[in-house]
């Protein structure tokens, strides 16, 4: 199943669309999928064409429910992930190194985060993050990672500004200890941010476009 369909079906299933019709607008689905209302409307039509969902256009709101085909394909995906977890103590995510917006360093260097990184992860991170755009076929693994109980880095206030909670997941890149960090206000769908005590780009001689594997502890 195409990952874009899988992602949408997972979101709909989590909203209850496996058991019954749910009322959901294109705008609401767009927010859940982190895309525009127009793109969400197109995704609904694609899911209908693929017979993954059925839709009831009521007088006030559209209602959507997964078909048996949609449910069966989600179950296949679930069983694949279950086999992964039964065979290993980690999940490997593949992707390409990309440039971020430069915000990672600002947040990472905040004392409220740094002290917690040291006490909870065992290292003080380099002042910046390594951004990795996940391969399309591995995007579904991000949902699996986020479903795991990560390490909570508590939010705090400093100089009148609030800094949100961050969830960290211990990982390794080429046997170097690091962590994926997911900010409370993260807008990324297919990109992960990595922190490490080392400057990973320099240490591993990485450039934008380089393909890399991240092994996440589970």
Is residue 50 situated within a structural domain? yes
Domain tally, the chain: 2
Same domain, 72 and 96: no
Instruction: Check pLDDT > 90 for residue 78.
Output: no
CA separation for the pair 163, 89 (Å, rounded): 32
pLDDT tens digit sequence for 1-13: 888 999 999 999 9
Report yes or no on 143 lying in a domain.
yes
* Residue 101 confidence (pLDDT): 76
Residue by residue, what is the 3-state secondary structure of 22-75? Answer: EECCHHHHHHHHCCCHHHHHHHHHHHHHCCCEEEEECCCCEEEEECHHHHHHHH
Torsion of CA 13, 17, 23, 27, to 10 degrees: 30
- Among 96-105, 130-139, 197-206, the range scoring the smallest mean pLDDT is 96-105
In this structure, the answer to whether residues 104 and 134 fall within a common structural domain is yes
Quote the pLDDT of residue 81: 78
Q: Last residue of a domain, which of 23, 51, 76?
A: 76
Identify which of 101, 122, 115 has the alpha carbon closest to the alpha carbon of residue 163: 115
Check whether residue 120 and residue 38 sit in a common domain: no
Q: 158: phi > 0 → left, psi -120 to 50 → alpha, else beta; which? A: beta
Provide the pLDDT for residue 107: 87
Closest C-alpha to 192, from 143, 121, 153: 143
Residue-range definition of the domain harbouring residue 11: 3-76
If asked whether residues 158 and 93 sit together in one domain, one would say: yes
Mean pLDDT of the region 165-184: 94
Which of the two residues, 189 and 209, has the higher pLDDT score?
209
Mean pLDDT across the stretch 146-173? 92
The set of long-range contacts for 41-50, using a CB threshold of 8 Å and a minimum separation of 24, is: 43/4, 43/8, 46/4, 46/5, 47/5, 47/8, 47/9, 50/5
Residue 117 lies inside a defined structural domain of this protein:
yes
pLDDT, mean of residues 102-117: 88
Per-residue confidence (pLDDT) for residue 86, from 0 to 100? 64
Q: Is residue 84 part of a domain?
A: no
Do 133 and 31 share a structural domain?
A: no
Structure tokens at 4: 């874009």
Domain boundary among 76, 99, 131: 76
Instruction: Calculate the average pLDDT of the chain.
Output: 91
Q: Is 210 part of any domain?
A: yes
Q: Please report how many Cα atoms fall inside a 13 Å half-sphere around the Cα of residue 102, on the Cβ side.
A: 0
Q: Give CA–CA dist 162/155, Å, rounded.
A: 7
Q: Which of 76, 103, 127 is the last residue of a domain?
A: 76
Instruction: Give the tens place of pLDDT for each residue, 147-157.
Output: 788 999 999 99
For residue 103, pLDDT beyond 90? no
Task: Give the residue-averaged pLDDT of 44-69.
Answer: 93
69 pLDDT exceeds 70? yes
* 3 state SS of 204: coil
pLDDT for 159: 87
**Co-location of 127 and 196 in the same domain:** yes
The CATH number of whichever domain residue 204 belongs to comes to 2.40.30.30
Residues 118 and 180 in one domain: yes
- Together in a domain, 47 and 141: no
Please check whether residue 83 lies inside any domain of the structure.
no
- 124 in the same domain as 64: no
| Same domain, yes or no: 103 and 165 | yes
* Domain co-membership, 71 together with 149: no
Residue 79 has pLDDT above 80, yes or no: no
pLDDT at residue number 87: 61
Whether residue 103 is found in the same domain as residue 168: yes
Task: Indicate which CATH number applies to the domain containing 34.
Answer: 1.10.10.10
Q: Are 178 and 196 in contact (CB under 8 A)?
A: yes
199-217: average pLDDT: 96
């Amino acid at each position: 199943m195409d990952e874009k369909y899988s992602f949408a079906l997972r979101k709909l299933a989590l909203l209850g669309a496996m058991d019954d019709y749910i009322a959901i607008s294109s705008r609401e689905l767009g927010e859940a999928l982190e895309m525009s209302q127009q793109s969400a409307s197109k995704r609904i039509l694609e899911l209908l064409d693929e017979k993954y969902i059925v839709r009831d256009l009521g007088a006030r709101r559209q209602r959507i429910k997964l078909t048996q085909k949609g449910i069966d394909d989600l179950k296949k995906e679930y069983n694949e992930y279950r086999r992964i977890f039964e065979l290993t103590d980690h999940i490997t995510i593949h992707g390409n190194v990309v440039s971020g917006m430069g915000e990672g360093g600002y947040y990472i260097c905040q004392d409220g985060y740094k002290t917690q990184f040291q006490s909870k992860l065992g290292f003080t991170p380099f002042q910046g993050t390594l951004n990795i755009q996940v391969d399309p076929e591995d995007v579904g693994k991000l949902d699996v990672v986020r479903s795991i109980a990560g390490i909570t880095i508590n939010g705090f206030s400093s100089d009148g500004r609030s800094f949100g909670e961050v969830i960290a997941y211990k990982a390794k890149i080429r046997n170097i200890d690091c962590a994926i960090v997911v900010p409370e206000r993260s807008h990324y769908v297919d990109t992960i941010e990595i922190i490490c005590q080392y400057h990973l780009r320099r240490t591993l001689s990485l450039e934008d476009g380089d393909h890399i594997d991240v092994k996440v502890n589970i």
